[in-house]
Amino acid sequence: MRAVATTVPVQITNALARLDPSVRIQTIPLSTNLNQQLEASRDGAALAVILGAGALALATVGTLGVFAYAVRQRKREIGIRIALGAQPSRIVRVVLAGQSNAALWGLGVGLLGAIAASSVLRGYLFGLNPFDPITYIGVAAALTVAGLGASYLPVRHATRLDPANALRDE
């Protein structure tokens, strides 16, 4: 007895059974067959989501580290500004303005890279728009919030220090 696994309509199954009764015909619903065919694509998509989330987390942590280091490098400047009577809120605004300039440049370069990568990966995105504005805006917002948060916390801490200590720590 031979076994044939195929997806055929009932009429063809009956016709084949009349021609050769020893052939075993198994019909599989199209939805089941399609699910089996797309299983590898779903696994790949899940892996891409996991890797993308990991990349976003690494980028966020890296941004936090770089901006916190940049604020620490300006600790002496912040101490001098406080000693000369600058308001802490003004110092926070000045530092955040400088850091947001760096963040905007990084977002611009990252956007260009993402557009280039999306163009290359277009063939693998079945039914998806590679230039989804919600995704681009969401990632840009997450990195901007992380960058500004990374700058805000250290500069806020630095504005609360005694100016003499800030100058002496150098």
How many angstroms separate the CA atoms of 137 and 133, rounded?
6
Residue 50 has pLDDT above 90, yes or no: yes
Q: What is the pTM of this model?
A: 0.61
Per-residue pLDDT reduced to its tens digit, 51-91: 988 988 888 788 788 888 888 888 888 888 888 888 888 88
The torsion angles phi and psi of 22, rounded to 5 degrees, stand at -80, -10
Note the pLDDT of residue 51: 93
Query: 3-state SS string over 97-141?
Result: HHHHHHHHHHHHHHHHHHHHHHHHHHHHCCCCCCCCHHHHHHHHH
Per-residue pLDDT reduced to its tens digit, 116-168: 988 888 877 777 788 888 888 888 888 888 777 777 788 887 788 777 776 67
Give the helix ranges, DSSP H, for the chain: 10-19, 30-73, 75-83, 88-121, 133-159, 163-168
Note the pLDDT of residue 2: 54
Residue 33 has pLDDT above 60, yes or no: yes
